[in-house]
Chain A
């Protein structure tokens, strides 16, 4: 079974530029997550989709970050404009999404995109 795919793996941009990341979840997984992991810290959830609807985006900096999930499958995360503090690894994860409140779904993570903002 193919895992979660992400691209690109690495990206270097200058501040105030725009950048987009792509994620293809495991086939059949209804729930998709984007996390931001700053060096030396644990991942922080940015946004959670259930199919193509947003479940939680409370920690997404909406003035510069946006995300969409096309037809409930692939997803893109965009930053516009980027700031120095956005340098991090952006992780995408997916899970079966068997129902809210069950709390037993295993999340499967992609390899991440390492973003460096200069």
Chain B
């Protein structure tokens, strides 16, 4: 079963714009992770935020976590065509077992 639901399902923007994706989940978590999947490739880990953290940055990525609302957001600033991919949130409810969401397909046009 899917734990997380990403919103929007698809997002189309121009290079240089910011992209925001949201993730909602259902149960308590140890941490929440974001992954990127390019067409035809495997999943690549982007960032992990623990349940006691509220915000985390990594390069052009900014992740927030609101455990009271059971939601997270991923912001990609100054997007590039190479950021075109599907983005998934995944929740770790313990024992390193990840439950993935449904994904957001991001298209960045030059």
A residues neighboring B (CB under 8 Å): 4, 31, 33, 41-45, 48, 55-56, 91, 93, 95, 97, 100-112
CA distance A56 to B44 in the complex (A): 23
Pairwise interchain contact B31-A111, C-beta atoms closer than 8 A: no
Given contacts A41-B2, A42-B102, A104-B31, contact A111 B41 (CB under 8 A): yes
The reply to whether B102 and A101 form a contact with Cβ atoms under 8 Å apart is no
Whole-angstrom distance between the Cβ of A82 and the nearest chain B Cβ = 22
- A112, B42: Cβ atoms closer than 8 Å: yes
Other-chain contact of A109, B30, B43, B97, B103 (Cβ < 8 Å):
B43
Q: Which residue of B lies closest to A35 (CB)?
A: B100
Considering the complex, give the chain B residue whose CB is closest to the CB of A112. B42
Contact A95:B96 (CB < 8 A) given known A41-B2, A42-B88: yes
Which residues of the partner chain B approach A43 to less than 8 Å between Cβ atoms?
43, 88, 100
Q: How far is the CA of A31 from the CA of B43 in the complex (A)?
A: 17
Interface residues of B in 50-102 (CB under 8 A from A): 50, 88, 90, 92, 94-102
Instruction: Specify which chain B residues have a CB less than 8 angstroms from the CB of A109 in the assembled complex.
Output: 35, 42-44
Known contacts being A109-B44, A110-B42, is A103 close to B99, with CB within 8 Å? no
Instruction: Flag if B95 contacts A55 (CB, 8 Å).
Output: yes
- Counting contact residues on chain B (CB < 8 A from A), the size range is 20 to 34
Q: Which residue of B lies closest to A91 (CB)?
A: B42
Contact of A97 among B33, B42, B96 (CB under 8 A): B96
Residues in chain A near residue B50, CB distance under 8 A: 103-104
Task: Tell me, yes or no, whether B26 is within 8 Å of chain A by CB.
Answer: no
- In whole angstroms, how far apart are the Cα atoms of A111 and B39 in the complex? 11
| Residue of A31, A48, A104 contacting most chain B CB atoms (<10 Å) | A104
B48 on interface, CB distance cutoff 8 Å: yes
- The distance from the CB of B29 to the nearest CB of chain A, in whole angstroms, is 8
